[in-house]
Structure 1
C-alpha cells in the first residue's frame, strides 16, 4: 500500500499524474509520452511493486520484467533511466 509520503514524492515536473490511489498510480512521462502503471501488492514477505508500461494510449500495458523497485522513488528512477535509454534509440 502506498501512503501519503509515497504519493507526495511523485515528481510532478517530470510526470503527468493520470491517477493515484493507495494501491495504484498511473503516470505519463512528459519526455517520452509513455504511460506507466505502478501497483503495490502485499505478499507474505512484505510490499512488492509491479511496474507496467505502454508506449501509446491505444496499446495494452506490458509488465516490465526484471524491474523490481522497492519504493515509488526507486520506480521513478527506473522509469527515468528507461526514458533516457528510449530517447537515445530515436
Structure 2
C-alpha cells in the first residue's frame, strides 16, 4: 500500500487547511485588506504547501528508496524523486 493511501486522511486534512488559507486570501483581496495582511496570509499558505511537500518527499524517499524491495525499485524511486526536486526547485 502506498504511503499516500496509508496517510490519506492526514494528507487530505492538510490540503483542506491550505484550501481554507487560499480562500481567506481571496476574501482578503475581495474585501480590500491591507497588503501587509495579504502578504502574511500568502506566506502562511506558502509555508503550509512547503511543509506538505517536504512531508511527501520524505515519505517517498523512505518508502521508494530506503525501504525499496529491489535495487531496480530503489533506482526508479530515486530517479522519480530527483525529477520532483528539480521541478520543485524551479
Q: TM-score if structure 2 supplies the norm length?
A: 0.27
Greater helix share, 1 or 2?
2
